[in-house]
Amino acid sequence: MRHRITLILLGILSFGLYIGLTGLAREFNWGEGYLNRPIPTYLALYFTLFILYAGAATLVLKRLDDQASLWIILAFGLLFRAAIFPSQQIQEDDIYRYLWDGKVFAHGINPYEYPPKLVSRYKSLQIRDPEEFQRLYDERNSRELELLYRLKWENPTALSFLERVNHPDIPTIYPPLAQYVFRIVHWLRPDSILAMRSMFLLFDLTALTFIILTLNALGKNRNLCIIYFWSPLLIKETFNSTHLDILGVSFLCVSLYCYVRANLSAAILFLALSVLGKLYPIILLPLYLKRMTRNIHLLVLNLSLFTAIIGIFYLPFLNIGMKAFAGLGAYASRWENNDSLFAILLYLFSSIPGLQSASFLSGNIAAFLCKATVALILLTVLLYLLAREREEGSLNDMNDIFIMLGLVFLLSPVQNPWYLVWIVPFLCFFPGKSWILLTCLAGLYYLGFYFDYQEIKQYKPWIPWFEYPLFYYFLAAETGLIKRLKDRLIQA
């Protein structure tokens, strides 16, 4: 009883902080008051929330495995979401692209074809140089652009939201399943951030349900779902920042449950849907197929199923050919942000004489070599996990999946905090200190905005040095690397 009371007190304190976070978010109005934005205060709230969260998770790990505690966890998790649900986004604007994509798709137009900036400037081009316009755009293009232009001016909210879309010169990068979700949200309520969050809540609760079912199937404490459901990172990035990763995460959680229950075809189906939410988990496919190598018929059938689902969802968008992947190509070739291992690789390759200014395929050769090295590392680890022999078991297989997905994040040139949401469900099964700590330290990413606004940008490159070294130290300790190094030093 005493431990449950402690859990309730931690929940009440956290609920109060989420209400405070919602109040603080009013200071983060788009396009206003950048210099005075209370980013340090936000970080103080976030880190305090993490301390309370870590305390609650520790209680569950050591003491609480009863049904009453589970209901407490679920009740407060819902209260946290309710508290932050109406808040203004803190430093994030991806939601405006989601709402625009949904509007475009709902009106029968391919969302991958036109960058938002084109919608804003096409009318002036049509008037200023009609011959050039007719050369660039056929009758269909002209008709669709005219419709999009009218939609832009449909109401003040639509106009302001389109103007807030980031990287407006690049077509959308989000996969087909995400586009269908955006379209449904538009049908329900156009230009509504709350409608999008309500849809994300459905996926969030789906993820929670299947995490609990998987914990139960593995004979583990169901209350470990607190690591997911109370995660400040997940709550902030999904219900304040309103990032779409929860779509893919939820289907991955369903897929893992099917995998644990040995329903392999269903596991492959939901893995494909997860990939169609965000492409991240496609690298997991070989690990799923590993279980089927003794049955070639089953292997071919499920590989065909995966390919068919991906193809069916992409097919409606391929009327514009490879242009459907233009935004994704721009993202893959240009983006680098908040990275750790990739930044070190880039520094090493750029230090080689002649590579810093050399180019390859219209890009920097040092960056190309970094990406090639990352691909080689991922392939090597994947082949090792596929080839090694060990005791069969769902938990061992899930650990391999966790390793692979974690490595993709750590080697990525873009390590935005919301990408780490993909790791959080696995922490319910493998609650290592290092990854849980990283979900806290990832909040330092937002300090970069503060340095930009205060014009002290010289400090910004140092942020990853505060985010990642402590994580890597704990990770090395948990994997036994530090102990092995100490033993070798003693032997030497």
3-state class (DSSP) for residue 362 = coil
What are the pLDDT digits (tens) for 400-446?
999 999 999 999 999 999 999 999 999 999 998 999 999 999 999 99
Torsion of CA 480, 481, 485, 490, to 10 degrees: 0
Residue 240 has pLDDT above 90, yes or no: yes
3-state class (DSSP) for residue 121 = helix
What are the pLDDT digits (tens) for 445-488?
999 999 999 999 888 888 999 999 999 999 999 888 777 766 66
pLDDT-derived band at 368, boundaries 50, 70, 90: confident
pLDDT-derived band at 72, boundaries 50, 70, 90: very high
**CA-CA distances (angstroms) from residue 133 to 142, 235, 319?**
9, 46, 21
C-alpha 222/C-alpha 428 separation (Å) is 9
pLDDT of residue 492: 59
- Percentage of residues of the chain with pLDDT beyond 70: 96
What are the pLDDT digits (tens) for 171-217?
999 999 999 999 999 999 999 999 999 999 999 999 999 999 999 99
C-alpha 446/C-alpha 455 separation (Å) is 15
Average pLDDT over residues 220-236: 96
Please count the residues of the chain.
492
C-alpha 451/C-alpha 465 separation (Å) is 15
3-state class (DSSP) for residue 212 = helix
Residue 280 has pLDDT above 70, yes or no: yes
320 token code pair: 């514009």
DSSP string, 213-281: HHHHHTT--GGGGHHHHT-HHHHHHHHTS--THHHHHHHHHHHHHHHHTT-HHHHHHHHHHHHHH-SGG
Residue 60 has pLDDT above 60, yes or no: yes
**Buried-exposed string 160-178: b where 16+ CB fall within 10 A, e elsewhere:** ebbebbebbebbbbbbbbb
**CA-CA distances (angstroms) from residue 474 to 24, 355, 372, 480?**
33, 34, 28, 10
Residue written as token pair 């050039």: 132
What separation, in Å, do the N-terminal and C-terminal C-alpha atoms of the chain show? 52
Average pLDDT over residues 240-247: 96
Residue 306 has pLDDT above 90, yes or no: yes
C-alpha 354/C-alpha 360 separation (Å) is 12
What are the pLDDT digits (tens) for 148-163?
999 998 899 999 999 9
**Buried-exposed string 321-347: b where 16+ CB fall within 10 A, e elsewhere:** eebbbbbbebeeeeeeebbbbbbebbe
pLDDT of residue 350: 83
Q: Are 380 and 400 in contact (CB under 8 A)?
A: no
pTM metric for this prediction: 0.93
Mean pLDDT, all residues of the chain:
91
pLDDT of residue 359: 59
